[in-house]
Amino acid sequence: MIAIIDYGSGNLRSISNAFRRIGADALVTSSSKTMDEADAIVLPGVGAFGSAMEKLEESRETILENIGEGKPFLGICLGLQVLLDESQESPGVRGLGLVPGRVLRIPPGNKVPHMGWNQLIIKRDSQLLDGVDDEYFYFVHSYHAEPEGDVVSATTDYGIEMTAVIEKDNIHATQFHPEKSGEAGLDILRNFTGIIKA
């Protein structure tokens, strides 16, 4: 069973429906017990970094413990950004700190928010992107992740090259919304369920 964390900041119905479409057992929950019992955790999210971290406070330790034990994790959109240390959007608010780095505002000169379909630029072999070539995915965001270290599996070009996929050990995350990205997005979710079973 896949636990989709409900903390008031995500497209829960659309991600739940997407997992259902590929035959995966997914449950929307805010229960620490359910997260502990799940085979994997998904953290969706839209909105502001600071607000999300405030709402995640109750689940923070459960998330960190489960990831620390090696449970597969998928962050989506804001669910990717909160993995990092901090964000320009909410100065002084600390993220989960699971991936070193910062979240920065998309530079002036680029339309904000970045909203629409963009092509992936694959950077390295990736479990999450297995069988996915330079497909187009749906993005909606005003800030972009700048992680440290060799954790970026794909980027996208929006005036600047921005992180699109992060993978570090059992942590997987997409800046785009796979649940809104058609068949290519469902392929990402299928790959994640394959990681769970591996």
Give the residue numbers annotated as catalytic, written as ranges. 77, 177, 179
Give, as one character, the DSSP assignment of residue 106. Answer: P
Decide if 92 contacts 133 (C-beta within 8 A).
no
Give, as one character, the DSSP assignment of residue 83. Answer: T
Compute the C-alpha angle 122/90/143, nearest 5°.
25
Show the tokens assigned to 123: 């950077």
Provide the total of helices (H) and of strands (E) in the chain, helices listed first. 6, 13
